[in-house]
């Protein structure tokens, strides 16, 4: 094995890039291209949003490649460091963060605004993967492992919730619960947790911010205040509904292009997509997402070590969570919680974390034999 390790390290960067999983990279590139086209159409070819996105995507893709050709052992070794660094940033952001739209979520790096809460989704998966990698299978349901994992989850969750960013906090929790599910925590525990959450819902609701309460209330009472808080959702639903089977055609969507759908660059990009490309386009897009998730789980299946396995599965679950919540939100099935559609939505950090995740998955495959 040490010999194998040497030979892999001896391989040049070019060789390593060449031997990456082509189909996953293709799928990611297709999504990236779609997102650039979509943003171009939303602005009717004016403005520079799509160029910015293209630039960011290229940058993120470069990061993806860099991570992919780095041995996954790096992430295994440093996952705790990464996790605590992330917690630290989340903590200090309270004091030096840039406020955007009422929440302190951003860290200004000059060119890039980074949302540490987005990175937390990745770090929680990594740290849990490492933790459960170290736990024997028969000890998974022991109090000790449950307690440690709960603490690991709750700290970033509460920090993000405090920012306040409900959407990201829910996704962090979702990603973490996904890991717990995948590593085989007893179903009874999950069921009792769900019961506890449902029972404590009134308490949770009381603790929400006013605008968060509004959103939840609006979800249950959509058309009552059409120009108010729920305006986004109604218009997005109209956008989705007006596409028909084949859509209105590229650059022809009126709901989104005419600014009916606010935030259509970011969280509501799907409504624009569905309006222009119709039901058929939406099905193709969902199929594409499914292919990606399937691909990641296949990589997970092939992995020889549990850290990689858990990471791949958990990342696939996280990816799935993003899509489900975003689409649920856009189609009016869920309240608006501010979850972007992976890769397709305009926005820096979410793109970056997802691409990093893909990078780690690719690395898991590349270094399957050399960890």
Which spans of this chain sit near other proteins (rule: CB under 8 A)? Answer: 80, 130, 133-137, 178, 181-184, 226-227, 231, 234-235, 237-238, 240-245, 254-255, 258-260, 262, 274, 279, 282-283, 286, 289-290, 293-294, 297, 300-301, 304-307, 309-310, 313, 316-317, 320, 323-324, 327-328, 331-333, 371
Least gap, CB of 360 to other proteins (angstroms) = 16
Which helix (H) or strand (E) segment holds residue 35: the answer is helix 22-42
Is 275 in a helix, a strand, or coil? Answer: helix
CB 87 within 8 A of CB 156: yes
CB 273 within 8 A of CB 257: no
> Tokens 């999983």 sit at which residue?
21
Per-position DSSP letters for 277-321, written without gaps between them: HHHHHHHHHHHHHHHHHHHHHHHHHH-SSHHHHHHHHHHHHHHHH
Closer by beta carbon to other proteins, 86 or else 235: 235
Strand partners, 100: 103
Closer by beta carbon to other proteins, 117 or else 326: 326
Distance CA 205, CA 201 (A): 6
Nearest Cα to Cα of residue 41 among 197, 218, 271: 271
Closer by beta carbon to other proteins, 86 or else 308: 308
Is 200 in a helix, a strand, or coil? Answer: coil
The pair of three-digit structure tokens given for residue 181, joined into one six-digit string = 């599910």
Closer by beta carbon to other proteins, 160 or else 344: 344
Least gap, CB of 78 to other proteins (angstroms) = 12
Closer by beta carbon to other proteins, 92 or else 245: 245
Distance CA 260, CA 235 (A): 6
Closer by beta carbon to other proteins, 36 or else 327: 327
Strand order in the sheet with 113-114: 98-100, 103-108, 113-114
Least gap, CB of 240 to other proteins (angstroms) = 5
Least gap, CB of 351 to other proteins (angstroms) = 21
Least gap, CB of 59 to other proteins (angstroms) = 28
Least gap, CB of 136 to other proteins (angstroms) = 6
> Tokens 């992976």 sit at which residue?
342
Closer by beta carbon to other proteins, 226 or else 249: 226
CB 97 within 8 A of CB 105: yes
Closer by beta carbon to other proteins, 104 or else 133: 133
The pair of three-digit structure tokens given for residue 302, joined into one six-digit string = 């092939």
Least gap, CB of 354 to other proteins (angstroms) = 16
Least gap, CB of 19 to other proteins (angstroms) = 22
Strand partners, 107: 114
């Amino acid at each position: 094995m040490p010999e194998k390790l040497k030979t892999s390290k001896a391989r040049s960067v070019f060789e390593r890039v060449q031997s990456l999983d082509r189909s996953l990279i293709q799928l990611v590139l297709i999504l990236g291209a779609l997102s650039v086209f979509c943003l171009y159409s939303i602005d009717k070819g004016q403005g520079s949003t799509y160029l910015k996105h293209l630039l960011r995507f290229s940058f993120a893709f470069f990061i993806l490649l860099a991570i992919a050709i780095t041995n996954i052992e790096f992430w295994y070794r440093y996952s705790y460091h990464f996790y605590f660094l992330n917690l630290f940033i989340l903590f200090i952001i309270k004091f030096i963060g840039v406020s955007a739209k009422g929440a302190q979520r951003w860290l200004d790096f000059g060119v890039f605004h980074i949302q540490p809460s987005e990175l937390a989704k990745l770090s929680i998966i990594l740290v849990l993967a490492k933790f459960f990698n170290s736990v024997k299978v028969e000890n998974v349901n022991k109090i000790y492992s449950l307690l440690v994992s709960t603490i690991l989850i709750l700290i970033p969750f509460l920090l993000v919730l405090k920012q306040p960013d409900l959407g990201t906090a829910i996704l962090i929790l979702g990603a973490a619960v996904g890991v717990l599910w995948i590593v085989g925590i007893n179903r009874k525990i999950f069921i009792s947790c769900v019961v506890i959450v449902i029972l404590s819902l009134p308490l949770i609701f009381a603790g929400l911010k006013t605008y968060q309460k509004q959103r939840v209330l609006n979800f249950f009472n959509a058309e009552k205040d059409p120009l108010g808080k729920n305006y986004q959702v109604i218009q997005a639903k109209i956008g989705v509904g007006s596409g028909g089977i084949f859509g209105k055609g590229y650059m022809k969507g009126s709901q989104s292009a005419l600014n009916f759908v606010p935030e259509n660059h970011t969280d509501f990009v799907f409504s624009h997509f569905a309006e222009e490309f119709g039901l058929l386009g939406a099905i193709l897009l969902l199929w594409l997402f499914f292919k990606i998730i399937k691909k990641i789980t296949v990589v997970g299946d092939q992995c020889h070590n549990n850290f990689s396995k858990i990471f791949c599965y958990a990342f696939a679950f996280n990816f799935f969570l993003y899509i489900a919540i975003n689409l649920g939100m856009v189609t009016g099935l869920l309240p608006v919680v501010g979850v972007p559609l992976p890769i397709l939505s305009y926005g820096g950090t979410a793109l970056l974390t997802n691409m990093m995740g893909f990078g780690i998955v690719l690395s898991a495959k590349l270094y399957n034999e050399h960890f």
